[in-house]
Amino acid sequence: MIDTPTPHESRAPASSTAGQTPYSAWMQTDALHSLQRTVSDHPGEHAWITHVQVSELYWMLIIKEIQTAQMYLRADNLPQAHRTLLRVVAHHEPLLAIWRSIDWMTPTDLLAILSRAVATYGQDTALQGWTYRQMVYLLGIKQPQHLDHFKPQPERWAQLARTLSEPSLYDDVLAYLGRIGMAVPKSLLERDLSAPYSPSKEVEQVWRDIYAAPVGSDGLQQLGETLADIAEGFSHWKHRHLMATRRTFGARPAYFGTEGVAWLMPTMAEIPFPELWSARTFIGDPSAVCPHMSQPRI
């Protein structure tokens, strides 16, 4: 069984500097730069591969950060969990920014590369990428059907199946809120965690109560805002991806034979931490700040 390497497992042996500079040994630059294997003669393929590989690295980084935050939440250490989640917010910035490096692509450019990739490896889809799916499961968007893509990679399939059935970041946040006395339904915490999450009115009320408390009183509003930032970073990435797909692919049929854009559109509504968003319809209602707001304006 393989899993995300722990910091200890990925630690280098002290003797690994033979034939290296300290920098190249530590950063593994030779290995890193041997990983871009082009399939076409298109000069832009390097940019494409670098973009995707850098995204892969950031998704793995986000996975590790989320797992660390979950560990702190389970130990009831909210300040450290929050500090870790702030790093997830920060990591979304480079993930968004690197879309710029492939914005030059026209459909002709993309198809010149993709046609060679299909000829070399067979028809691929990014849905076969396990890091993105693990991140999505950890964010609480549990869709078991995506496991099917990993049948040719049994160890990754098992890793994802485990992540699917274990608590997401949101589950750990809700469990923490329950432990500190907020009215999170026990049935929700004890449900089948591999099934898609159904938003609950009780959890929405928990977030309303958190935001009704004085600002900064217990760190929970800050936690809510950081989770909202993470959800926004994730959704912005999906929007950049959708626009890149429109720009380079138009309405062509994609992996499933259906229009790629039409397949992607419903996924835009998959926003993590649903009650944190639905509660906002009621937060500040009635206003906790200015009693004059409820009086008719002259």
CB of 163 to ligand HEM, least distance (A): 15
Cβ count within 10 A of residue 93: 12
Residue 6 DSSP class: P
What dihedral do alpha carbons 44, 50, 51, 54 form, nearest 10°? 180
Residue number, nearest CB to ligand HEM: 260
> 253: which strand partners?
259
Task: Give the residue with the Cβ less far from ligand HEM, 28 or 53.
Answer: 53
Task: Give the residue with the Cβ less far from ligand HEM, 112 or 188.
Answer: 112
Tokens standing for 180?
Answer: 């500190």
CB of 55 to ligand HEM, least distance (A): 4
Q: What is the C-alpha to C-alpha distance for residues 224 and 275, in angstroms, rounded to an integer?
A: 10
CB of 58 to ligand HEM, least distance (A): 9
Tokens standing for 171?
Answer: 């589950």
Where along the sequence are the contacts to ligand HEM (CB under 6 A)? 51-52, 55, 110, 125-127, 129, 132, 241, 244-245, 248-249, 254-256, 260, 263-264, 267
Task: Give the residue with the Cβ less far from ligand HEM, 37 or 292.
Answer: 37
CB of 104 to ligand HEM, least distance (A): 11
CB of 14 to ligand HEM, least distance (A): 35
Task: Give the residue with the Cβ less far from ligand HEM, 112 or 127.
Answer: 127
Task: Give the residue with the Cβ less far from ligand HEM, 109 or 204.
Answer: 109
The answer to whether the CB of 219 falls within 8 A of the CB of 177 is no
The answer to whether the CB of 255 falls within 8 A of the CB of 125 is yes
CB of 8 to ligand HEM, least distance (A): 29
Q: What angle do CA 273, 279, 283 make, to 5 degrees?
A: 135
Rg (CA), the chain: 22
Task: Give the residue with the Cβ less far from ligand HEM, 119 or 126.
Answer: 126
Q: Which residues contact 255 (CB under 8 A, 6 or more apart)?
A: 123, 124, 125, 127
Tokens standing for 71?
Answer: 């560990």
Task: Give the residue with the Cβ less far from ligand HEM, 135 or 223.
Answer: 135
CB of 146 to ligand HEM, least distance (A): 7
> 259: which strand partners?
253
Q: Which residues contact 83 (CB under 8 A, 6 or more apart)?
A: none
